[in-house]
Amino acid sequence: MLLLLLGIIFLHLAALVLLFVSTIVSVWASSETGTSDLWKNCTLLSGGHQCSPASTGEWIQAVQAVMILSIIFSCLSLFLFFCQLFTLQKGGRFFLTGTFQILASLFVMSGAIIYTVMSPEWVLGTYSFGYSYILAWVAFPLALISGLIYVILRKRE
């Protein structure tokens, strides 16, 4: 029982950490000479990195908003899980926790999809997708599975 609990919390925390890293580190597109998105574009010069704020298009702001919302919902879901763990009656299901976690995973998915479809408008052809983008795609199934587990899970004694 304790093992199951620890496993579920570990899964949730893993998804949350991936979301944080994907949102904060600005490496959604990268090339040999620099990185760009989500918050700043950095180019590698002889003296070092030179960074400037990212382009202010509508789509990149939408991706920023959706990633931040997914972090907020995942944190809320973690808080609600601990809340419901101590107050739910026997046999009850963690519906609220699961709902918030699934919503968070949907937000990450829509953010990654928007970025995939719209980024050719402002990203040069020499740039390829960076590791933050890949982490966002990895966080999506982790969060989804975590949310589904919460919905199926029943509270024992």
Which is closer to another protein, CB of 68 or CB of 138?
A: 68
Binding mask 71-90 for another protein (x = CB under 8 A): -x-------x--xx-xxxx-
Asked if residue 56 binds another protein (CB under 8 A), the reply is yes
> Helix, strand, or coil here: 57?
coil
**Per DSSP, what are the bridge partners of residue 51?**
42
Stretch 94-153 residues interacting with another protein (CB under 8 A): 96
Neighbours of 112 (CB within 10 A): 24
Which is closer to another protein, CB of 51 or CB of 96?
A: 96
Residue type at 31 in one-letter notation: S
Considering only 92, 120, 121, 141, the residue that binds another protein (CB under 8 A) is 92
- The alpha carbon torsion through 56, 59, 65, 68 (nearest 10 deg) reads -100
> DSSP string of 75-130?
HHHHHHHHHHHHHSPTT-B-HHHHHHHHHHHHHHHHHHHHHHHHGGGTS-TT-EE-
Query: Judged by CB under 8 A, which stretch of 4-12, 24-32, 54-62, 132-140 contacts another protein?
Result: 54-62
Shortest CB 98 distance to another protein, Å? 13
Asked if residue 32 binds another protein (CB under 8 A), the reply is no
Asked if residue 51 binds another protein (CB under 8 A), the reply is no
Q: Which residues neighbour 75 within 8 Å (Cβ) at sequence distance 6 or greater?
A: 16
Which is closer to another protein, CB of 46 or CB of 89?
A: 89
The CB-side HSE value for 99 (13 A sphere, CA atoms) comes to: 5
Asked if residue 61 binds another protein (CB under 8 A), the reply is yes
Interface residue list for another protein (CB under 8 A): 53-54, 56-58, 61-62, 64-66, 68-69, 72, 80, 83-84, 86-89, 92, 96
